[in-house]
Structure 1
Amino acid sequence: MSTVKETVDVEVPLHMAYDRWTQFEDFPSFMEGVDEVRQLDDRHNHWTTSIGGVRREFDTEIVDQLADDRITWRSIGGDTQQRGSVRFERLDDTHTRVELTMDVEPTGVAKKGADALGMIDRRVKGDLHRFKEYVEGGGGQSGGWRGRIRPEDPGTSL
């Protein structure tokens, strides 16, 4: 499993950075290779990606979410194995640090090759920097989901 970690400081208040990240269906606006994200319920999202000419669909489950602090997820089903966390840290009234950590288990020869060449690492880091441009440019909806999901919550099975 490969671990990617990247941090970026954005010039928006903490609540705004967090709220924009919770707009999962807007992810294609700043994530390379992400065609669509459909939010199924508070805990589950369905992803469609096209990377290197290969189209994939998979679901993710949010396992821990605390407003203005963190969102942690894992993939469920499908052939994409990943888990990750994004954390938000207030730097001052108008600046926020966003830290993204992802563990990705490449499957298949193409993904393992891409991982060996550092392509997964570059893609994730690029996505985070595009998020910076997106959120600082006023992209996305103004509202965000501010609920709480705890790891021990049973959640909804898909």
Structure 2
Amino acid sequence: MSILEEHVDVGVPIDKAWESLHRVENYPRFVEGVRDARTEAGGRAHLDVEAGGQAREFEARVSDRSGERAMEWRTTGAAELTGSFSLQPIDKNHTRVQARLEYDPDSIRETFGGPKGFAQANAVERLVRSDLEQFKEYVEQGR
């Protein structure tokens, strides 16, 4: 398994960042490749994703630790991905959003195509960094 951790500081209070992160239906606005997303019963989310020129559907189990401001998720089925988001207040108007992604490089390549090895790690890192920057823009503009 490969592990990637990235963070971004956003200019909103922690409650606003937490609320925005939990609106799964808005993920297409800031997560690259997500065309549609919705919350389903039983702590699950459904995502329609386009990546590597292919459309895919994913189910993920989502669990919250609201008191800790942490959300964990794990895909079910192909392309096993596990991740989490945790939020820490910087001050009353700024929040750090920490993303952690655990993935099997071979599984990612089989599912989405793309490069191998170091090039793949760089591509995943760029994608996560871009998604965090898009989230920052999304939440700070109050959409």
Q: Same fold by TM (over 0.5)?
A: yes
CA contact (8 A) 2:52 2:113 kept: no
Displacement, 1:68? 6.0
SS in 1 for 2:142: coil
CA distance in 1, matches of 2:57, 2:129: 22
CA contact (8 A) 1:30 1:130 kept: yes
Displacement, 1:53? 0.4
Corresponding residue for 1:155?
none
Displacement, 1:100? 0.4
Displacement, 1:128? 0.7
CA distance in 1, matches of 2:131, 2:116: 16
Moved over 4 A (4+): none
SS in 1 for 2:115: helix
- The structure where helix makes up a greater share of residues is 2
SS in 2 for 1:113: coil
1:17 counterpart = 2:23: no
Instruction: Please list the CA deviations of residues 27-86 of structure 1 after superposition, one character each: whole Å capped at 9, or x if unmatched.
Output: 000111111112112510011110120111110001343256100111112x12100110
Identity %, equivalent residues: 33
42-51 vs 80-89, greater mean Cα deviation: 42-51
Corresponding residue for 2:48?
48
Amino acid at match of 1:54: Q
CA distance in 2, matches of 1:24, 1:115: 31
Displacement, 1:112? 6.2
* TM-score scaled by length of structure 1: 0.80
Gaps of 5+ in 2: none
Gaps of 5+ in 1: 140-158
CA RMSD, aligned part only? 1.8
Number of matched pairs: 138
1:66 counterpart = 2:66: yes
